[in-house]
């Protein structure tokens, strides 16, 4: 890991938009069909409106259980934004268990009724019309019972029941989950200026933030056109679509605001973006602490916010600003630096543990 400079919390590789050094030319054309290349170094100071609403609720709920935000489950702070790549196997397991239980609950009773009717028909002298009537009535009664009991039993299964069954294997499961989380953990590191993206099976792609191009990608679905932020490593053309900032949004301005948040976060000459998830750590970042002292920012603005009142008042102004901001007028401070140095010279300047180019 790159050593920190004397007297600062930031390394010499930390990202500073106004100090971008000469970079090699991209080996391929940077324009991509259906994807809009985003500029670097011009900040709108806008945070995503809809994401903010969700994050305020998460922040306020988390503070009740962990007021100091010391839990390892809180993955945003003044040094790193961490996130997991999709773990499909775990998601399938979580969703499959309640589905399997509901199917079993609903249709096991019908199967039992059917078996009973067949046995009665073979062993008892009862008219088939009566047996059909009894079977239909019992089936309806079972469906009514299943509808009533499904929510209660499913909630119990996913909480108490699963905990009881898995209790003997708790240590082994926790170790496996920790290993899985570590293997899939990626991060944007403000302190070092490096991006570390998990590739799975213990492999990681690590490179300076300045080497990544951000694009707004159009996602065509049956219900319309949606947008997401993707990242392409300029010198290897590796593309990353599943970062913490690659959620699919119906509003293009929401995605543009996400990019503004990320590049502001990575630029150590700028205070941390004023988003809810970072509020508990603002005082730990020297640039941000000085900014907040100078502006008189309320250190608990998001944690004490009346969200419903904010949405009806100030929040509306935030959304309007986001939608009306002249996003197409932003200047890119990186592009003019491309082609000013050879690849061989640049390789000698890169961190030793970065992905080879």
Strands across the sheet containing 203-208:
80-84, 185-189, 194-200, 203-208
Angle at 53 between CA 306 and CA 96, to 5 degrees: 125
* pLDDT on residue 183: 60
* pLDDT on residue 96: 65
Distance CA 15, CA 33 (A): 28
Distance CA 90, CA 177 (A): 10
CA dist list (Å): 109 to 149, 315, 335: 13, 52, 67
Domain ranges of the chain: 35-79+190-349, 94-177
Q: Which residues of 142-155 are buried (b: 16+ CB within 10 A; e: fewer)?
A: beeebeeeeeebbe
Q: What is the mean pLDDT of each run of 10 residues along the chain (357 residues)?
A: 56 94 95 94 96 95 92 90 65 60 80 83 79 84 82 66 52 47 81 93 92 96 90 96 91 97 98 98 96 97 97 95 96 97 95 93
* pLDDT on residue 99: 75
Distance CA 144, CA 25 (A): 68
Distance CA 331, CA 6 (A): 33
**DSSP H or E stretch at residue 202:** none
Distance CA 199, CA 126 (A): 66
* pLDDT on residue 79: 95
* pLDDT on residue 266: 98
* pLDDT on residue 91: 45
DSSP string covering 208-221:
EGGGEEEEEEEEEE
* pLDDT on residue 5: 52
* pLDDT on residue 6: 47
* pLDDT on residue 86: 52
* pLDDT on residue 149: 78
Residue 89, both tokens = 């196997």
* pLDDT on residue 92: 47
3-class DSSP assignment, residue 343 = helix
Residue 344 burial (C-beta neighbours within 10 Å; 0-12, 13-18, 19+) = exposed
**DSSP H or E stretch at residue 336:** none
């Amino acid at each position: 890991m790159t050593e920190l400079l004397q007297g600062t919390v930031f390394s010499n590789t930390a990202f500073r938009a106004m100090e971008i050094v000469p970079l090699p030319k991209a080996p391929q054309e940077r324009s991509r069909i259906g994807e809009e290349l985003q500029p670097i170094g011009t900040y709108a100071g806008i945070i995503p409106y809809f994401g903010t609403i969700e994050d305020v609720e998460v922040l306020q709920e988390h503070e009740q259980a962990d007021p100091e935000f010391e839990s390892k489950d809180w993955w945003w702070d003044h040094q790193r934004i961490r996130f997991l790549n999709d773990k499909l196997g775990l998601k399938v397991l979580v969703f499959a268990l309640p589905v399997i239980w509901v199917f079993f609950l609903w249709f096991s009773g019908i199967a039992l009724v059917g078996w009973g009717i067949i046995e009665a028909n073979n062993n008892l002298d009862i008219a088939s019309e009566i047996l059909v009537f009894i079977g239909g009535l019992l089936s309806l009664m079972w469906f009514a019972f299943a509808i009533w009991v499904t929510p209660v039993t499913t909630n119990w299964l996913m909480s108490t029941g699963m905990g009881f069954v898995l209790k003997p294997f708790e240590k082994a499961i926790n170790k496996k989950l920790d290993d899985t989380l570590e293997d899939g953990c990626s991060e944007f590191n403000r302190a070092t200026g490096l991006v570390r993206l998990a590739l799975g099976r213990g492999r990681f792609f690590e490179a300076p933030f300045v080497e990544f191009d951000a694009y707004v990608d159009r996602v065509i679905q049956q219900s319309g056109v949606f947008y997401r932020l993707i990242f392409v490593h300029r010198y290897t053309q590796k593309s990353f679509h599943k970062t913490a900032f690659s959620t699919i949004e119906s509003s293009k301005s929401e995605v543009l605001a996400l990019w503004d948040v990320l590049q502001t976060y990575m630029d150590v000459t700028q205070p941390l973006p004023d988003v809810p998830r970072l509020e508990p750590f603002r005082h730990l970042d020297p640039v941000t602490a000085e900014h907040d002292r100078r502006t008189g920012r309320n250190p608990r603005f998001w944690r004490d916010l009346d969200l419903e009142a904010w949405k009806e008042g100030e929040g509306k102004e935030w959304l309007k600003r986001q939608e009306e901001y002249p996003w197409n007028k932003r200047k890119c401070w990186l592009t003019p630096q491309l082609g000013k140095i050879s690849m061989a010279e640049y390789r000698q300047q890169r961190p030793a543990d970065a992905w080879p180019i």
